[in-house]
Structure 1
Amino acid sequence: MKKTIDVPAVRDGLWMDTDITYAQVPGWLGNTTRDLKLTVIRHFQTGDDKRYPVIFWFAGGGWMDTDNNVHLPDLVDLAHAGYIVVGVEYRDSNKVQFPGQLEDAKAAVRYLRANADRFQADPDRFVAMGESAGGHLASMLGVTNGHKEFDRGAHLDVSSAVQAAVPFYGVVDPLSAKQGSATNDFDFVYRNLLGAEPEAAPELDRAANPLTYIDQNTVPFLIFHGTEDKVVPVQDSERLYDELTEKHVPADLYVLKGAEHMDVKFLQPQVFKIIEDFLAEHLK
């Protein structure tokens, strides 16, 4: 069979840059230096001044293990919808305690903003998105614009601010997440993150709680959580939503019926359409 067909170009082609070093941090027992990496899914160059909004993705793993590439195949839909998607490696709690993870996240944002021309990125439309422990990072980025105490490393001449936050079943208050979980299998992750049990260290717990920082600089939030989450209680996302709306921060909360922690339901086209619509409304 031989056919000649006319194929219209209805979407961009995509490149994927891997192993981009965005920061160097202390390595083995503080005696060496190690790289932190990004993977960037970006669009074919257009030869003009077209810019794309950026979604920074922070994978979960209980702050115990991270893989910045693990969900990128699922997020290609968002790249085809017109976004640059950046998978961010951040240090786990075996290497650094909080706020090291937030410092890494902000360093990644600064790197992309400093290199916006290289990636055709729009530096005024940056989105923090993540799941579970990565959802906690997304929330922390969304509430700490202007908090210079978390800016460490290179590119300090540019801002680490984001313009929207999209946490998926993210940890909010480490203490309430630990106490409200339906299982105690993961209680140790909060001690590892903070360096102490959250109930025994209220100041450390407060410092790692996004609710602490909600103010006039807090960005719009789109929150997802499942009704059957046994790891991070849905009540924590409901409390985050309530606190945001009480302080007049634009926020939407979608509770997915029957969804468990890290459920495939969160990766469906219906969810991505909600994300696209929310970002279209709030990224002006």
Structure 2
Amino acid sequence: MKHTINIDKVRDGLWLDSNITYTQVPGWLGNTTRDLKLSVIRHFQTNDDTQYPVIFWFAGGGWMDTDHNVHLPNLVDFARHGYIVVGVEYRDSNKVQFPGQLEDAKAAIRYMRANAKRFQADPNRFVAMGESAGGHMASMLGVTNGLTQFDKGDNLKYSSAVQAAIPFYGVVDPLTAKEGSVSNDFDFVYRNLLGAEPETAPDLDSAANPLTYVNANTVPFLILHGTKDVVVPIKDSERLYEKLVENNVPAELYEINGASHMDVAFMQPEVFKIVLTFLKQYLD
């Protein structure tokens, strides 16, 4: 049977621009060069002055193993609502200790600002979002705007600032995360990140703790955490929220009943609606 129909164009087409090198860092034992990659879910080119806000996503993995593409199938929902989504590779703690991961994240943000026209990205609406160890990254980005000691590598004439931070069950203080975890199975990740046990290296722990940097210039935060998280204590997210409020930083904390660490509950439309509502309030 033959059909002739009219189709309303109600949404943009999307491209996946995958595994783009955004910077190069020392590789094997400092003797080689390693590419760091990002993948971009972007909109069909409009050939006008259209600009889209950008969500940078940092996957978890205890700073031990990460895959910058692993959540892109879920995050396409944000692209459908008018965002560019960037999955960012960052070095794990087997390759570099903190603050190397933060330096990588800031390099990715500078790369996107330097190439904003290519992707039709709005350089004034950049969002840091991530889960677990990647949530720690999002928080660190949200509290370190303007701290140039973390800007290393390429595109240094561009800012690494973000305009909002959204940690999903993110690590806050490595020490209290280690001490407050119901499980001891992941205690080693904090030693690997810092190069020492957090309880014996207070300076290193403080340097990797977002609470250290919170001030009145910190960007708005949306914090999400599950009440049944046995890996990253929910009390740490509550402390981050309290610290933000104490410093008059706009902040929202959503505690999801019954949700565990890396729970599928966080990828549900209801949660994404909360994120989109928050971003509309602070980016528009």
Name the structure 1 match of 2:39.
39
Name the structure 1 match of 2:166.
166
Distance 2:225 2:7 in 1: 40
Distance 1:2 1:194 in 2: 66
User: Is contact 1:146-1:217 (8 Å) kept?
Assistant: no
Name the structure 2 match of 1:90.
90
Give the letter for the 1:262 counterpart: M
Name the structure 2 match of 1:49.
49
Scaled by the length of structure 2, the TM-score of the pair is 0.99
Asked if 1:67 is matched to 2:67, the reply is: yes
User: What displacement does 1:169 show?
Assistant: 0.1
Give the letter for the 2:214 counterpart: I
Name the structure 1 match of 2:175.
175
Alignment of 1:212-227 (within 5 A): 212-227=212-227
The residue matched to 2:29 in structure 1 has which SS? helix
Name the structure 1 match of 2:81.
81
Scaled by the length of structure 1, the TM-score of the pair is 0.99
Alignment of 1:22-37 (within 5 A): 22-37=22-37
Give the letter for the 2:131 counterpart: E
Give the letter for the 1:51 counterpart: Q
Distance 2:12 2:277 in 1: 20
Deviations 1:68-117 (A, max 9, x none): 00000000000000000000000000000000000000000000000000
User: What displacement does 1:7 show?
Assistant: 1.4
Aligned residues: 284
User: Is contact 1:144-1:217 (8 Å) kept?
Assistant: no
Alignment of 1:127-142 (within 5 A): 127-142=127-142
Unaligned runs of 5+ in 1: none
Give the letter for the 1:144 counterpart: T
Deviations 1:247-279 (A, max 9, x none): 100000000000000000000000111111100
User: Is contact 1:53-1:125 (8 Å) kept?
Assistant: yes
Name the structure 1 match of 2:207.
207
Name the structure 1 match of 2:189.
189
The structure 1 segments of at least 4 consecutive aligned residues displaced by more than 4 Å after TM superposition are none
Deviations 1:45-88 (A, max 9, x none): 11100000000000000000010000000000000000000000
The residue matched to 2:7 in structure 1 has which SS? coil
Distance 1:6 1:222 in 2: 41
User: What displacement does 1:217 show?
Assistant: 2.1
Unaligned runs of 5+ in 2: none
Alignment of 1:149-160 (within 5 A): 149-160=149-160
The residue matched to 1:244 in structure 2 has which SS? helix
Asked if 1:120 is matched to 2:120, the reply is: yes
Distance 1:169 1:201 in 2: 24
User: Is contact 2:217-2:249 (8 Å) kept?
Assistant: no
The residue matched to 2:235 in structure 1 has which SS? helix
